[in-house]
Structures are given as structure tokens and as C-alpha cells.
Structure 1
Amino acid sequence: MAVDRVLANLDLNLLVTLDALLRERNVTRTAEGLGVSQPAVSGALGRLRRHFGDQLLVRVGNRYDLTPLASRVATLTGPALAGVRRVFDSTAAFDPSGLDREFTIVSSDYAATVLGPLIARRVAALAPGARLRFQQTTPYAVDHAADTLRSADGLLIPHGFVSGLPYLDLYTDRWVCIVSEDHPEVGDALTMDQLADLPWVVIFDRPTAFAPASRQLRMLGIEARVDLVVDGFAQMPFLVAGSRRVALLQERLARLLAPVARIRVLECPFEVIPLAEAFWFNPMYRNDPAHMWLRDILSAAAAELRG
């Protein structure tokens, strides 16, 4: 009964604000994200501080850090919100046509381009009230996947970068080399000597890089001449076009953009491990009816892409 009295005196909106505050660590950004006024968030923070008997957020220089208590609470807010959502989303039989929910998928521009339209078409047809948000991934989001998935429904990324989380296998793709359509030095095939000599366009150029160009070449004793570093795959064909540059790109994306960017798609003169794209998600969503439906949508979209 004591627990019931505590819950009866709590506003569930505070849980939403608490989760956002602990993620953003900033009152202004929290207010913008929730679509409420800054004074409203400041007032909620005051109520939360009184409830916990703790400052939760403390200023350190120009930023706010979490107190030890807030760090522990931050691991609980995501699962708690998911549980509340499951309670109020529950029906005798799940019906996506009445779904009013936004799904956030953290994805590279590659996956959003080749798979995103197939997902969006199915969601629009079966759940017109649902919304999709494709959020561009970053090396930080991948390095901290468990934390990323506290506030997202899933992460679209190949195997090899994330472990210890449930996933749904979707499809495979090959890596190919791309050069300008009118490249003056490259014929019908690339050679290893050309890969060592030509300037490269690479993505991120750091360990958490989804294109293994530099890493693969180093293993073969070649140090790539990096000319351009970008943070998205879709830019690469247009930065290769009309230049001496070369890049490594997923075959599905390369062939989709080749006619527009005026590039040629060539086989790599060395063996590159194919990528196996998967959808990684928080274990708390394993039995969530709406999330299970979303995973079915991704499976169907991937099957169409494979076909």
C-alpha cells in the first residue's frame, strides 16, 4: 500500500521529463525536445530534486554532469518508460492500424537509402498513424550502442561493431570500388598499384568506420592516400565523380547512385568481407507488441530487397 500511495502522488509526466533531462543534461534542450517551455522543465527538475533528495544535475564548468544517484537512475528510466508504454498500448489483439507512435531508427544513410523506402511504404500502408524517424548514426552512437538504444527503437548496422544485444538479421551486401565514369587512368578493372597511387574518399577514418577500405589496404601492405573524409556514404559517389579519386562502397548503394553520380562500379582487386546488415535493439523491447510488429516490417522489407 505504501508503494501505491507513492505512485498515486507522482505525475507520470515527470518520468518522461526525468528521462529526457538525464539524456540531454540540459534544461533548454530538454524543453525543445519535449515541446514544452523552459520554465516548465525547470519546475519539473525542482520537483524531481525534492523527490529524490538529490541535485541530479550539477554544473561542472560550462556543462552539467549527473550525480552518482542520477547515473543509477538513468539506467532505469528507459525500461520504465517502455513498461508504461506497453501497459497503455496493450489491447486484446494488436492492431497496427490504430497505432499512434513514433519509431526512431538510428541508421547510416546507406541503410536509410536502400532499405528505408521499403520500410516506410509498409508502415504507411499498415499503420497510417505511426511515424518513422531515421536518425543518422555516428561513431559515438555505435561505440555506445547500449546507451543509444535507451532512446531509440533500433540501430541498423552490420555485424562486427555491436555485441551483447538482441538483433534481427536482414540482408547481406558486397563492397565494390567506385571511380569516375570518365576516369583517365582506370580501365575495366582496378589494380593494386592503382589503389596505392590514387587518392581515396573514406568515411570517418577511425576504428569505428563502416567502410573497411583503409583497414583492408593496410593489411595488404598499402597505406591509402586519403584525400577526403566524409560522414556519410551517399556523398561518396558525387565526390568521386569527375576526379581521380576512388572509394569503397556498398554495391546496392553504388548501383543505385551510379547513373545519377556518373560513376563506374568495379570489382575490388582484393577480397573484402561482405557486410551482414542487422537491426539491433534494446532487450526491453523483445516482447513489446508494437516493436515486434516493427521487426516484422523490417523482415518483410529486407526480404523484398533480397528478392
Structure 2
Amino acid sequence: MAVDRMLANLDLNLLVTLDALLRERNVTRSAELLGLSQPAVSGALSRLRRHFGDPLLVRVGNRYDLTPLASRVAALTGPALAGVRRVFDSTTEVDPSELDREFTLVTSDYAAAILGPILARMLAERAPGARLRLQQTTPTAVDHAADTLRTADGLIIPYGFVTGLPHLDLYEDRWVCIVSADNPQVEESLSLVQLKHMPWVVLFDRPTAFAPAVRQLRMLGIEARVDVVVDGFMQMPFLVAGTGRVAVIQERLATLMAPIAGVRILECPFDVVTLNESFWWNPMNTNDPVHAWFRQLMIEAADLLWPSF
């Protein structure tokens, strides 16, 4: 009951202001972000300082830093706001034309380029008041998927990297090799011997790197000569073009990028697993009608992709 009385005496608008202040660390910028006056935000900061019994923001030179307590609180405000929004967005029926919210997807630039345009178009047609945020994934976001999905509507990643969370399969793709269109050392096919000596462009170069090429080569007793490491698939064709490098990317993306970047698509000279791109979400969203509607939209968007192979 004590907790209930405490919540009853709190203004939830303070949570929004607290989140802005801890992110911006500046009263003026927070006021601009929230569309409020600077005195109003300063007053809210005073109330927050009284509530926590802590200054929250302390001046260091010409800037403000978070206190140790504020640093801990800052990690909680995002998930708390997301939870509040889910509570007040809940409804038994969904009218897409009335939706006024943002759907956040954590995804690679590959899936964003392949599926993103279709999904964005369908969302604009059916829910013109909704917004789509495509947030670049990282190995940390994948390694800690449950934490990532506390503040995001979904994570798009190949099946096999996340377990213990609900998901649905979207589409299949396969891995292919790309080389520069003018590479004189490569004819109509690649051999394992060539791959052993060619410089590589790889993604992240760690366990959650998505592309299995380096790991599979190691299983074949070949240590790839890594020349460039990137954090996105879209960069890879341009780092291969005009060089003697090789990379392995998804066939759908290779088909899209080959004429733009000036690369050739070749079969991998080793067996590669089929890529099953999947959509993962927080279990607390499973029975949410709005989220269920969005998941169905994802399925329909994936069904409109052109065949890969």
C-alpha cells in the first residue's frame, strides 16, 4: 500500500521530464525536446531532486554530469516509459488508421534495406499516423536480446542467435560471394585455394557476426585473411569494388547492390547454411493487439519480397 500511495502522489509527466534531463543533461535542450518552457523544466528538476534527495545533475566545468544515482536511474527510465506507453496503448480492437505511435525495430542494415522499404510503405498506407524507427543492431544488442526488447518492438535477426523468446519466421535468403567486377584474378567461379589467399571484408569478426563464412572456412582448415572489418553489410560491396578483396553477403542484398557498387556475385565454394530471417519480440507483447497487428504486417511485407533462389 505504501508503494501505491507513493505512486498516487507522483506526476507521471515527471518521468518524461526525468528521461529527457538524464539524456540531454541540459535544462534548455530538455525544454526544447519536450516543447516546454525552461522555467517549467527547471521546476520539474527541483521536484525530482527533492523526491530522490539527490542533485541528479552536477556542474563540471561548463557542462553537467550525472550523479551516481542519476546514472542508475537513467538505465531505468527508457524501459519504464516503454511500459507506461504499452499500458495506455492497450485496447481490445485495433484501428490502424487511428494509431499514433512509433514502432521500433532493431535490425541489420541488410534487413532494413531489403524489408524496410516495403514495411514503411505498408505502414504509411494503413496507419498514416504511425512511425517506423529502424535502429542498427550491434553484437551487444543480440547478445542481450531480452534487454534490447524491453524498449523495442522487435529484433530482426537470422534464426539461431536468440533463444527463449517468441519469434516468427519472415523469409529465407542464402549467402553468396562477391568480388570486384573487374577483378582479373577471378573468373567464373571461386575455389577454396583462392579464398585462402584473398583478403576478406568481414562483419564484426566475432560470434554474433551473422555471416558464417569465416567460421565455416576455419572448419575447413582455412584461416581467412581479414583485411577490413565493418559493422554493416551495406558497406561491404563498396569495400570489395576495385580491389582484390572478397566478402560473403546475402543474395538479396548482393542482387540489389551489385550494379550500384560494381561487384560480381559468385557461388560460395563451400556449403553454406540457409539464412532464415526471423522477427523476435518481448513475451509481454504477445497478447497486445497493436503488436499482434504489427507482426501480421511484418509477415505480409515479407511475403512481398521477390524470390531469392
TM superposition score category, shorter chain reference: 0.7 to 0.9
Residue type at the aligned position of 2:243: S
The equivalent residue for 1:94 is 94
The 5 Å alignment of 1:215-294 reads 215-294=215-294
Matched, 1:170 2:170: yes
User: Aligned to 1:242, what secondary structure does the other structure show?
Assistant: coil
CA distance in structure 2 between the partners assigned to 1:206 and 1:294 by the alignment:
32
CA distance in structure 2 between the partners assigned to 1:118 and 1:299 by the alignment:
11
The equivalent residue for 1:296 is 296
Stretch of structure 1 that moved more, 147-156 or 102-111: 147-156
Seen in structure 2, the aligned counterparts of structure 1 residues 123 and 223 have a Cα distance that, compared at 3 Å, is: same
Q: Percentage identity across aligned positions?
A: 69
CA distance in structure 2 between the partners assigned to 1:217 and 1:33 by the alignment:
49
CA distance in structure 1 between the partners assigned to 2:252 and 2:288 by the alignment:
32
- Are the equivalent residues in 2 in contact too, given 1:19–1:74 (CA < 8 A)? no
User: Aligned to 1:165, what secondary structure does the other structure show?
Assistant: coil
The equivalent residue for 1:112 is 112
Residue type at the aligned position of 1:206: R
The equivalent residue for 1:154 is 154
User: Aligned to 2:305, what secondary structure does the other structure show?
Assistant: helix
Seen in structure 2, the aligned counterparts of structure 1 residues 223 and 83 have a Cα distance that, compared at 3 Å, is: closer
Matched, 1:27 2:25: yes
- 1:102-146 CA-to-partner distances (Å, cap 9, x unmatched) read 111111110000000111111011000101111111122222222
Seen in structure 2, the aligned counterparts of structure 1 residues 83 and 261 have a Cα distance that, compared at 3 Å, is: closer
User: Aligned to 1:305, what secondary structure does the other structure show?
Assistant: coil
Residue type at the aligned position of 2:172: T
Stretch of structure 1 that moved more, 251-260 or 140-149: 140-149
The equivalent residue for 1:122 is 122
CA distance in structure 2 between the partners assigned to 1:95 and 1:206 by the alignment:
43
User: Aligned to 2:270, what secondary structure does the other structure show?
Assistant: coil
- 1:265-291 CA-to-partner distances (Å, cap 9, x unmatched) read 111001112221111112221222221
TM-fit CA distance, 1:233 = 0.5
CA distance in structure 2 between the partners assigned to 1:286 and 1:4 by the alignment:
27
- Normalising to structure 1: TM-score of the pair? 0.84
Matched, 1:9 2:9: yes
TM-fit CA distance, 1:154 = 1.2
Q: Which runs of 5+ in 2 are unaligned?
A: none
User: Aligned to 1:105, what secondary structure does the other structure show?
Assistant: strand
- 1:186-213 CA-to-partner distances (Å, cap 9, x unmatched) read 1111000100111111111222212122
- Are the equivalent residues in 1 in contact too, given 2:82–2:150 (CA < 8 A)? no
CA distance in structure 1 between the partners assigned to 2:75 and 2:250 by the alignment:
37
- Are the equivalent residues in 1 in contact too, given 2:25–2:57 (CA < 8 A)? no
TM-fit CA distance, 1:90 = 4.3
- Are the equivalent residues in 1 in contact too, given 2:198–2:225 (CA < 8 A)? yes
The equivalent residue for 1:181 is 181
User: Aligned to 1:103, what secondary structure does the other structure show?
Assistant: strand
TM-fit CA distance, 1:295 = 0.7
- Are the equivalent residues in 1 in contact too, given 2:106–2:137 (CA < 8 A)? yes
User: Aligned to 2:287, what secondary structure does the other structure show?
Assistant: coil
- 1:42-69 CA-to-partner distances (Å, cap 9, x unmatched) read 654553454355778999xx975765x9
Residue type at the aligned position of 1:305: L
TM-fit CA distance, 1:173 = 1.0
TM-fit CA distance, 1:221 = 1.2
Stretch of structure 1 that moved more, 280-289 or 4-13: 4-13
CA distance in structure 2 between the partners assigned to 1:274 and 1:33 by the alignment:
44
User: Aligned to 1:234, what secondary structure does the other structure show?
Assistant: helix
Residue type at the aligned position of 1:129: G
User: Aligned to 1:15, what secondary structure does the other structure show?
Assistant: helix
Count the aligned residue pairs: 302
- Normalising to structure 2: TM-score of the pair? 0.84
TM-fit CA distance, 1:240 = 0.9
Seen in structure 2, the aligned counterparts of structure 1 residues 151 and 91 have a Cα distance that, compared at 3 Å, is: closer
The equivalent residue for 1:195 is 195
Seen in structure 2, the aligned counterparts of structure 1 residues 104 and 34 have a Cα distance that, compared at 3 Å, is: farther
CA distance in structure 1 between the partners assigned to 2:254 and 2:228 by the alignment:
18
TM-fit CA distance, 1:179 = 0.6
CA distance in structure 2 between the partners assigned to 1:176 and 1:197 by the alignment:
18
Seen in structure 2, the aligned counterparts of structure 1 residues 15 and 242 have a Cα distance that, compared at 3 Å, is: same
